[in-house]
Amino acid sequence: MKRRDFLKQSTLASSMFFVPQFLKAFELGTNTTFSNKKVVIIQLKGGNDGLNTVVPFENDIYHNARKTIALQKSEIIKIADGVGLHPSLAPLRNLYDKGFVSIINNVGYPNPNLSHFRSTDIWQTASASNEYLQNGWIGRFLDHTKAESYNAIEVDESLSLMLKGKHQNGLAITNPKMFYSSLREPFFNKIVNNYQDPHLNEHNLGYLYATMIEAKSSSKYIFEKTKTKSQTATTYPKNILGKQMKTIADFVKSGLETQVYYAGLSGFDTHANQQNQQSNLLKIYAETMEAFVNDLEKNNVFDDVLILTFSEFGRRVHQNQSFGTDHGAANNVFVIGKHLKKNGLYNNLPNLAQLDKTGNIQYEIDFREIYATILDKWLQVDGRAILNKSFSKLQFV
């Protein structure tokens, strides 16, 4: 293959998101620490309003700060004294009543950043607010365990920073059959068949070859494992998150040796007219979570799955003049699993009488404590080595 043709077609591949956005893979050998435990991570993108999600409906400060958008006692789904869920979360209440949900309140980090992009990077890399990391905490998990690239999958068209490691990345896949077929095109076969071309090493293109060969191997493995679907079918909501979670459920049911899955639901940046927008999004989230859990339960694979839902920050306590809320700080996090050690309300709701100097909810639990707990107690790896620091462990698993 001529160098000019190779470069030309390689550029074409990159523009189609196959390389490098779909993945960055090296042949690192097999995962020596693989366990059957799986984590499904869901981001509510845009900054979900935690106060109108888990509602302190008897708190006067809450009602005074939100004259228009505060939820009333008659609307909410009561789960404890003075605490209720947004009415759109009725399907999640069904899981809550089974003991499958732990609500962790006041989750954040010191010196919070209120930029969507920066705060998302902080959550995805597990960095401090003044620290800039180039790889994600799941990417470092792949590096640490020397896992194959398919050990972490994002159900999307491009790969987020969370799944990018220093040596190994996860995969971004929306359709395993399409992913497999794409990597069987003549262009990819031509590259693989010309791996001894001296131009590869002469122009540092050996990396691209290694990426291609690993991608093709991973795509074949995923396709072969998932092409036989389970006979126990579940109907999912017909929306983007429903499609993502159905794909993840199919992956889990197939026996795929993937330990981390990542998906997201956008639209939570509710600066104006928050009520209807948040209500619709929480309904999508709750209905999809119930369908996903029911699907896994029917197929006897829910025992080894832990679901983590987070948003990059919460909203301010006081509503704004546009009947919405602006960027805040600490927020609630949902953990869903079958054998939680502490379900229900994990800790107290925020103290609205003691806000930080900017008028935001103060954090009580560092989000990296949740990550450390999942790594050490669930995935059974050294969280300190992955998070670059030791964090306290929580008691939800």
Q: Are strands 305-310 and 331-336 parallel, antiparallel or unpaired?
A: antiparallel
Q: What is the mean pLDDT of the chain?
A: 86
What pLDDT is recorded for position 222?
A: 78
What pLDDT digit, counting tens, does each position of 276-321 carry?
999 999 999 999 999 999 999 999 999 999 999 999 999 999 999 9
What pLDDT digit, counting tens, does each position of 81-92 carry?
999 999 999 999
Q: What band does 217 get if pLDDT is binned at 50, 70 and 90? A: low
What pLDDT is recorded for position 227?
A: 73
Tokens 């979570």 belong to 289
Spatial contact of 288 and 263, defined as CB atoms under 8 Å apart: no
> Which range, of 20-24, 92-96, 350-354, 387-391, averages the lowest pLDDT?
20-24
Q: What band does 216 get if pLDDT is binned at 50, 70 and 90? A: low
Output the six-digit token pair for 13.
Answer: 């591949």
CA distance 287 to 91: 6
What pLDDT digit, counting tens, does each position of 175-205 carry?
776 665 555 555 555 555 555 555 555 545 5
Distances (CA, A) of 36 to 52, 119, 136, 260: 36, 31, 22, 11
What pLDDT is recorded for position 34?
A: 57
Count of other CB atoms within 10 angstroms of residue 255: 12
pLDDT of residue 8 exceeding 50: no
The residue that leads in pLDDT, 5 or 320, is 320
What pLDDT is recorded for position 199?
A: 55
Determine the length of the chain: 397
pLDDT of residue 131 exceeding 80: yes
What pLDDT is recorded for position 310?
A: 98
What pLDDT digit, counting tens, does each position of 238-274 carry?
999 999 999 999 999 998 999 999 999 999 999 999 9
Question: Which of the following CATH numbers is that of domain 31-147+228-387: 3.50.50, 3.40.720, 3.30.1380, 3.30.70?
Answer: 3.40.720
Half-sphere exposure of 265 (CA within 13 A, CB side): 27
Q: What band does 223 get if pLDDT is binned at 50, 70 and 90? A: confident
What pLDDT is recorded for position 186?
A: 58
The residue that leads in pLDDT, 25 or 355, is 355
What pLDDT is recorded for position 201?
A: 52
pLDDT of residue 27 exceeding 90: no
